[in-house]
């Protein structure tokens, strides 16, 4: 059950911030990207995610915005996704044309389309239902930036990418086999990856001081824990299923 709508804040009032245009322009300017800091963030998202969001607070204090102004994370993540998908195509692809189509479709659907939908959903949800009332009429009203919602999704997706695209690649010959053990391991990988995604999603919004009831983002973890044993007992192998979508 969702939290109730905040008084005096209609859904239509939530709009994306205008920082998106300069962010997109910087995508083609590699010399302005902080590559070293991006790799630092990627490492700590897998080991100490709270440290990353502690630095998000510092960014807000220095740049007066929660979202990244550097597209390096998204660009490098996209390149990693291309390399990982190409590796799957090299191992399981049938032709060069099919491999090129698979790489493009994965980047467009898994990264851009899914990221846009999930970020927009969380951006709308937080701005509409989770913002706390301003302590006084003179206080500055704060909103979740759409670009920050996209940052949170990218942060949450990266460890899942490591588990479901990189780690799974090396054990995929085992996971695509028939039997109980491949089904068990496959479901455990997906359970850990999806649960960690939602945990990082929670951390990303919990760090914002003007949001309330952010524990809502932890609820899907309970659903995943409930569904995983059911899928194992039913013999559903998510690895074999997802591989069949791209490689017949």
Look at residue 19 in the predicted model and tell me its pLDDT: 66
Is the pLDDT reported for residue 160 higher than 60?
yes
Query: Is pTM beyond 0.85 here?
Result: yes
Round to whole Å and give the CA distance between 62 and 52.
Answer: 15
| Cβ atoms of 33 and 75 closer than 8 Å | yes
16 phi and psi angles, rounded to 5 deg: -65, 150
Question: Quick one: pLDDT at residue 80?
Answer: 97
Give residue 186's pLDDT band: very low, low, confident or very high (50, 70, 90).
very high
81-127 tens-digit pLDDT: 999 999 999 999 888 998 999 999 999 999 999 999 999 999 999 99
Whether the pLDDT of residue 68 is over 90: the answer is: no
Highest mean pLDDT among 16-30, 92-106, 126-140: 92-106
131 Rama sector, left if φ>0, alpha if ψ -120 to 50, beta otherwise: beta
């Amino acid at each position: 059950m969702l939290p109730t709508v905040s008084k005096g804040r209609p859904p239509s009032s939530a709009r994306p911030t205008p920082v998106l245009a300069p962010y997109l322009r910087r995508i083609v300017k590699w010399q302005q990207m902080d590559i070293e800091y991006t790799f630092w963030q990627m490492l700590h998202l897998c080991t100490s995610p709270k440290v990353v969001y502690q630095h998000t607070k510092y960014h807000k204090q220095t740049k007066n915005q929660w979202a990244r102004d550097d597209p390096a994370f998204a660009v490098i993540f996209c390149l990693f996704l291309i390399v990982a998908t190409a590796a799957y195509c090299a191992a399981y692809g049938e032709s060069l044309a099919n491999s090129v189509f698979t790489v493009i479709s994965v980047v467009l659907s898994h990264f851009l389309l899914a990221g846009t939908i999930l970020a927009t959903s969380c951006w709308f949800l937080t701005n509409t239902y989770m913002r706390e009332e301003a302590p006084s009429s003179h206080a500055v009203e704060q909103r979740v930036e759409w670009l920050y919602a996209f940052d949170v999704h990218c942060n949450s997706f990266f460890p899942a990418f490591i588990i479901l695209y990189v780690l799974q690649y090396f054990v995929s010959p085992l996971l695509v086999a028939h039997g109980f053990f491949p089904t068990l391991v496959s479901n455990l990988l997906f359970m850990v990856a999806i649960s960690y995604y939602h945990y990082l999603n929670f951390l990303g919004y919990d760090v914002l001081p003007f949001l309330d009831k952010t524990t809502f983002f932890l609820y899907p973890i309970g659903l995943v824990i409930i569904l995983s044993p059911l899928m194992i007992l039913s013999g559903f192998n998510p690895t074999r299923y997802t591989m069949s979508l791209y490689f017949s």
